[in-house]
Structure 1
């Protein structure tokens, strides 16, 4: 009879179960390699939000730092993140086998190896704001046609105008430095009345693209007079109606509430409008050029940030040493600034945004909703002012 050779499983260390071990090894390898799934969707779900949050935090800190720098006599600097490219490399490999010897061999053995590697290589591109773009985005006043529609989105009109308007029909907002900051009491009374009407739905803003001939017929009691040429003096860096023919109107909507009617009457009186005016065109400038218009002299981003800087809290020793000027103690009829910025030697707990500048911390409290809302408005206005800005940050995530 012939002599038979032992099977692959043989009588070695693994006995007759060797074939099962081979099967298990091959199965594990196939699972290891076959489990490769596209990594793009998984990274997109995580990284898009992660980069968005990171960019948002950086923009908040940059804005707060510029406010602090202005307080200490330094110019603001803006560095835009123009592009974010996140590249990923992912690889797997597996090898293995089973050696089986005749019964006389010392042993049978199973072997295998695998590798897994992953790498991320983000590239972030920054662009400083300089030259004409700096003048357009930071130095030039923002047009009322860009500011007023924000109230339609729910932004408080009193906060919005306190931040952006230097004067309304000759009624002056707080300006410059000093213990009280100046400002007309009637300016703040007007803002208070407008806010009450906004909350009650008795005031709104209307946007139109009327030409000079059609809008001139709205003068008088409707208060919609003014031509495109008048708006050509907007001087704002964004939303200029001189080129688009866009007009913005303050509308006092009809109401049967006697209290709201009284407030509307006071608004008309403060704005020198006709007693029956239902709406009035808003134009840029210190005073209206035609009867029935509302003139708003708006601020630039630089003026807005400078004003906020002189309302912030700074260490008293910095004032005594001459490093900076005293903080404005009273803003109009308000006892607090629109954005309350605190200072201290130690890092704050639970801040909305904070920065470290020359051995001192500056922050906005996370529990101060009014300051957070106003600070958010400042960021929105900064974006609106950037008319000559190239496209926003581009996030590219190649994955395959």
Structure 2
């Protein structure tokens, strides 16, 4: 009896629960964020505003109780047997507390509506992200070459074929290592007479305090490959750079302010979600009834949208993520790697766009037994 009591008293929950719950909550948060992003894309197609609800805190509380009682009865009479009796009980309960915070007001304007600076977007290509996919998602125009856009641009979205030719060439140079992005920092000392100017969020000119401002440059690396040299010459021509230019600063705007610069008019998160929504698959009856406009067709050398979103009355067996909206399912196929990669890129950009954001989700798991 004493041994059993000692064993029951040594039971602890903390280490075991931590090993399981840290990964379980991480997976749950990741899947929730994917479905929220997909739902916002679908909502934009039907003229609904995007809504973001951040998970700010997760507290996983556990309670464990146990009781044990026993005794021994002995009788001196030979006719009555001696006997031992005992009883025990054990219970465990989990009571998680999850805190959500909606994105509203100034925070909504900063994170969703304002364009994202090229100094934030372009370094993502250094992490292995395809530069053509990155620019198709985030750039509305590059040096006047226009990307496709949503309403008011006709069935082809008003895109320029040369825009896609430029992205194709940049991708070829990126794969071959003949192009890269360089980041340079410099000290910024504000002047008392300086007046605040509106600029894309996360840009080097944001803020009034002294600090470090970042400049981003497109660098055409040296190569002896004649085919790559020809691609570099075509890139310089499309970007109106000097024939021997090895690098050019990337700035925000529709056109460069001075020679030797590359101007990128970037999109906001709202514009990115809206553009993806106009390229997704929707039921024909919704278009004919006026619930949503027709799907925008790709132009030039592009034959498909960056993120292919399908729709149907029922889900296929394998999906990367899926949401149910107005009696219909919308999903991204799990076998479509290009769509999954671009969709992940959107989530990364959304995280970078959070300039006025509270701290990330805190998961608290009590370790007491």
Matched, 1:235 2:209: no
Q: Secondary structure at the match of 1:246?
A: strand
1:108 equivalent in alignment to 2:85: no
Alignment-derived partner of residue 169 in structure 2: 193
Per-residue CA deviation, residues 69-113 of structure 1 (Å, 9 max, x unaligned), is 110011111111111111111122222122121133522111111
- Note the C-alpha offset of 1:245: 1.5
Mapped to 2, the partners of 1:44 and 1:160 lie a distance apart of 37
Larger Rg: 1
Question: Per chain length, whose mean CA-contact separation is higher, i.e. which structure has more relative contact order (CA < 8 Å, sep 6+)?
Answer: 2
Would you say 1:289 and 2:263 are equivalent positions?
no
TM alignment of 1:1-400, pairs within 5 A: 25-33=1-9, 35-37=10-12, 39-177=13-151, 178-210=154-186, 235-243=199-207, 244-400=212-368
Looking at structure 2, the residues matched to 164 and 331 of structure 1 have their Cα atoms a distance apart, in angstroms, of 17
Contact 2:161/2:299 (8 A) holds in 1 = no
> Which whole-Å deviations, capped at 9, do the CAs of 1:148-180 have from their partners, x for residues lacking one?
000000000000000000000010000123322
Q: Does the 8 Å CA contact 1:180/1:332 hold for their aligned counterparts?
A: no
Distance 1:29 1:153 in 2: 56
The 3-state SS of whatever aligns with 1:199 is helix
Match of 1:19 in 2: none
The answer on whether the counterparts of 2:199 and 2:205 sit within 8 Å (CA) in structure 1 is no
Cα deviation, residue 117, structure 1: 1.4
Shift of 1:240: 3.5
Q: Tell me how far apart the structure 1 counterparts of residues 113 and 256 of structure 2 sit (CA, whole Å).
A: 23
Q: 1:56 to 1:164 in 2, by over 3 A?
A: same
Report Cα offsets for 1:30-76 as digits up to 9, x if no partner: 3233x323x21111111011011101111100110011111001111
SS in 1 for 2:186: coil
Tell me the TM-score normalized by structure 2. Answer: 0.93
Task: Verify the 8 A CA contact 1:234 1:241 in the aligned structure 2.
Answer: no
| 8 Å CA contact retained: 1:241, 1:247 | no
Contact 1:64–1:355 (8 Å) recurs in 2: yes
**4+ residue runs of structure 1 moved beyond 4 angstroms?**
none
1:137 is paired with a residue of what secondary structure? helix
Residues of 2 paired with 1:362 and 1:303: CA distance?
A: 20
Partner secondary structure for residue 125 of structure 2? helix
The RMSD of aligned alpha carbons is 1.7
For 1:264, what is the secondary structure of its paired residue?
helix
SS at match of 1:266: helix
Report the CA distance shift for 1:344/1:373 in structure 2 as closer, same or farther (over 3 A). same
Structure with the higher fraction of residues in helix conformation: 1
Gaps of 5+ in 1: 1-24, 213-231
Number of corresponding residues: 356
TM-score (norm 1): 0.86
Greater strand content: 2
